[in-house]
């Protein structure tokens, strides 16, 4: 069942702008690069998997917020 709820526009705006902190984004890129080179340790593979899943979830939330706001990604 899908429900509709009211949310302040400022809240939706903040979701549409959400992204990883720069340090986390750089770390994720480093892990992806090391993965492409076949150099990841097992613990790093788990971390990469978790960060990639979180990044995907954030992207989906941002896309939904942008759609509600009638905006396009920048």
Domain range annotation of the chain: 20-69
**Mean pLDDT score across all residues of the chain:** 92
pLDDT value of position 1: 63
pTM: 0.80
List, in order, residues 6 or more apart from 62 with CB less than 8 Å away: 15, 16, 17, 18, 19, 73
Q: If you ran DSSP here, which 8-state letter would residue 17 be given?
A: T
**Does the pLDDT at position 67 exceed 80?**
yes
pLDDT value of position 2: 75
Structure tokens at 56: 């995907």
pLDDT in tens, 25-46: 999 999 999 999 999 999 999 9
């Amino acid at each position: 069942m899908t429900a509709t709820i009211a949310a302040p526009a400022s809240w939706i705006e903040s979701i549409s702008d959400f992204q990883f902190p720069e340090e986390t984004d750089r770390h994720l890129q480093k892990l992806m690069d090391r993965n492409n080179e076949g150099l990841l340790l097992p613990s790093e593979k788990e971390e990469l998997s978790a960060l990639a899943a979180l990044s995907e979830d954030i992207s989906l939330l941002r896309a939904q917020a942008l759609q509600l706001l009638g905006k396009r990604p920048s």
